[in-house]
């Protein structure tokens, strides 16, 4: 959730609360989609056409209904749509991935009455006495909560992250209901085992809905990076923080994508610094902010600092996992497939028999993806052939059930982070020698 986000926050919609009310929303959504399918199918048949079910499901009217309803529900319903579009975009039907992708920046603000209810419950009936000014209109709204600008009693600029009521309690049922809707609709491949992904989505969402945990993560990052003048982080304001609200100092920045308009030298510096930050997070802190959303980074024009925001999706990794992943990267750098196989199995991959099609294909995909890390030369992300190469290699595998294995959860989070940085470096049209940044970290135990 960014501090200058452009959302549907000007439009207020009450957050549905309670399992019954939220299930009713899903039921009406399913009924509306089915009704649209029937009407559209009847029209097609009358015109002498034999429409496919998939084509009936993915009409513009149904796409609009799906995204609008999920955005109105917020919470896990909306968040799971975001996760699916980002984490399985190469595997989902392109049309569904595109529909779900629109949820990344779409959220309604809650009505003032609900906002006041949360503020009073979390900060007390006299919460206004703690503030000098509070902007009722949020300047960012996302799946779990919305953000307001304010100034403290001492006049310090700050922000308050406010969680939507009922969102935390509805996580498990929302995930199950949305998954059932997508499965019954036929939009998800029948042979795709969603169980591990859904379980992890629930776990992730419970973490992100725990603002006290997020405050602890933010403090950990401040301890690690607070003295590094290349980065700018907010600080937790304890007396404005509770279970469902998180008060933080305001840090100024513009969207990180604006760096794309800077000179090449600055674009390259910023992208390189983001990759160095990943190395610090993974190999030194073993605490990684895993959400690839660009809005979690901003840029301060005056100082050239990278602003770091939103730590709810942070994840801690064990020393053994980090060591295994380091060995995997070292094997890739050395071109040692045997070392890569050993390290991959150590971090949880099941690669199957030596020389099998499955094992060889996964190694080939890894080698394609890791080119920016393994080749000791500046890599031109703006003209990278990797997305096209992956698409060409993955497309024939979509109908092969043996390739529908969910990767080890921790590794999936690391790949999610790396993939997000690759996308951002591409957006910035940056050229970076990532190999040079990685190499010093590979020799540590």
> How do residues 192-201 score in pLDDT, each as one tens digit?
566 776 777 7
pLDDT tens track for 198-228: 777 788 788 888 999 999 999 999 999 999 9
Q: What is the mean pLDDT of residues 83-107?
A: 50
More confidently predicted of 358 and 181: 358
Place of tokens 């003032």: 112
Q: Determine the pLDDT at residue 388.
A: 86
Indicate if the pLDDT at residue 35 is higher than 50: no
pLDDT at 89 over 60: no
Percent share of the chain, pLDDT over 70: 68
pLDDT at 102: 52
Query: For residue 140, what pLDDT is reported?
Result: 81
Residue 273 and residue 180 share a domain:
no
Q: Which of 87, 174, 291, 327 is catalytic?
A: 291
Whether 190 is covered by a domain: the verdict is: yes
Question: Which of residues 201, 221, 237 is at a domain's end?
Answer: 201
Q: Do residues 184 and 299 both lie within one domain? A: no
Q: In this predicted model, what pLDDT tens digit does every residue of 327-386 receive, in sequence order?
A: 999 999 999 999 999 999 999 888 878 877 778 888 888 899 999 999 999 999 999 998
Q: Do 49 and 195 belong to one domain?
A: yes
Q: What is the DSSP letter of 248?
A: E
Q: Is the pLDDT of residue 39 over 80?
A: no
Residues 18 and 91 in one domain: yes
Told to judge if 2 belongs to the known catalytic residues of this protein, a careful annotator would answer no
Overall size of the chain counted in residues: 445
Domain that holds residue 301: 255-445
Tokens of 437: 């940044």
Same domain, 262 and 393: yes
Phi, psi of 151, deg, nearest 5: -130, 140
Share of the chain above pLDDT 90, in %: 46
Evaluate whether 70 touches 83 at the Cβ level (below 8 Å). no
Question: Is 128 part of any domain?
Answer: no
pLDDT at 53 over 70: no
Q: Which residue has the higher pLDDT, 181 or 361?
A: 361
Could you say which DSSP state residue 281 is in?
I
Query: Do 294 and 190 share a structural domain?
Result: no
| Helices 337-346 and 357-369, axial angle in degrees (round to 10) | 100
Count structural domains, the chain: 2
- If asked whether residues 316 and 387 sit together in one domain, one would say yes
Average the pLDDT over each of 93-107, 120-134, 347-361, 431-445 and give the range with the smallest value: 93-107
Span of 37-51, 165-179, 261-275, 421-435 with lowest mean pLDDT: 37-51
DSSP 188: S
The predicted-structure confidence for 94-105, as pLDDT tens digits, reads as follows 555 555 555 555
Q: What is the pLDDT of residue 379?
A: 97
E strand segments, 280-382:
287-289, 297-299, 306-308, 314-316, 379-380
The verdict on residue 132 lying in a domain is: no
């Amino acid at each position: 959730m960014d501090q200058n986000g452009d959302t549907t926050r000007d439009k207020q919609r009450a957050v549905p609360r309670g399992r019954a009310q939220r299930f009713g929303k899903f039921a009406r959504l399913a009924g509306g989609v089915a009704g649209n399918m029937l009407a559209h199918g009847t029209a097609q048949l009358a015109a002498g056409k034999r429409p496919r079910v998939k084509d009936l499901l993915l009409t513009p009217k149904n796409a609009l209904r799906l995204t609008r309803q999920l955005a109105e529900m917020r919470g896990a319903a909306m968040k799971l749509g975001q996760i699916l579009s980002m984490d399985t975009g190469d595997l989902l039907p392109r049309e569904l991935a595109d529909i779900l992708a629109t949820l990344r920046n779409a959220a309604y603000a809650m009505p003032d009455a609900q906002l006041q209810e949360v503020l009073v419950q979390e900060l007390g009936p006299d919460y206004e006495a703690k503030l000098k000014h509070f902007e009722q209109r949020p300047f960012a709204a996302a799946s779990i909560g919305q953000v307001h600008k304010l100034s403290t009693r001492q006049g310090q600029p700050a922000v308050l992250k406010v969680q939507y009521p009922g969102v935390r309690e509805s996580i498990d049922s929302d995930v199950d209901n949305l998954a059932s809707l997508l499965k019954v609709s036929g939009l998800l491949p029948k042979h795709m085992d969603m169980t591990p992904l859904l379980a992890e989505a629930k776990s992730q969402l419970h973490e992100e809905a725990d603002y006290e945990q997020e405050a602890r993560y933010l403090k950990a990052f401040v301890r690690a990076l607070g003295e590094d003048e290349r980065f700018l982080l907010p600080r937790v304001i304890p007396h404005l923080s509770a279970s469902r609200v998180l008060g933080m100092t305001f840090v100024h920045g513009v969207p990180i994508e604006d760096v794309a308009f800077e000179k090449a030298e600055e674009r390259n510096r910023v992208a390189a610094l983001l990759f160095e930050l990943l190395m610090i997070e993974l190999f030194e802190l073993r605490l990684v902010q895993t959400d690839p959303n660009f809005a979690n980074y901003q840029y301060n024009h005056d100082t050239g600092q990278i602003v770091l925001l939103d730590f709810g999706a942070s994840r801690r990794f064990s020393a053994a996992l980090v060591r295994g992943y380091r060995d995997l990267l070292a094997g890739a750098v050395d071109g040692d497939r045997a070392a890569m196989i050993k390290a991959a199995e150590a971090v949880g991959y099941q690669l199957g028999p030596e020389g099998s099609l499955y094992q060889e294909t996964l190694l080939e995909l890894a080698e394609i993806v890791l080119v920016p890390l393994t080749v000791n030369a500046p890599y031109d992300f703006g003209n990278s052939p990797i997305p096209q190469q992956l698409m060409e290699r993955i497309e024939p595998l979509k109908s092969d059930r043996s390739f529908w294995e969910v990767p080890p959860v921790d590794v999936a989070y690391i790949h999610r982070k790396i993939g997000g940085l690759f996308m951002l470096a591409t957006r910035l049209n940056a050229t970076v020698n990532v190999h040079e940044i990685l190499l010093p970290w590979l020799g540590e135990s």
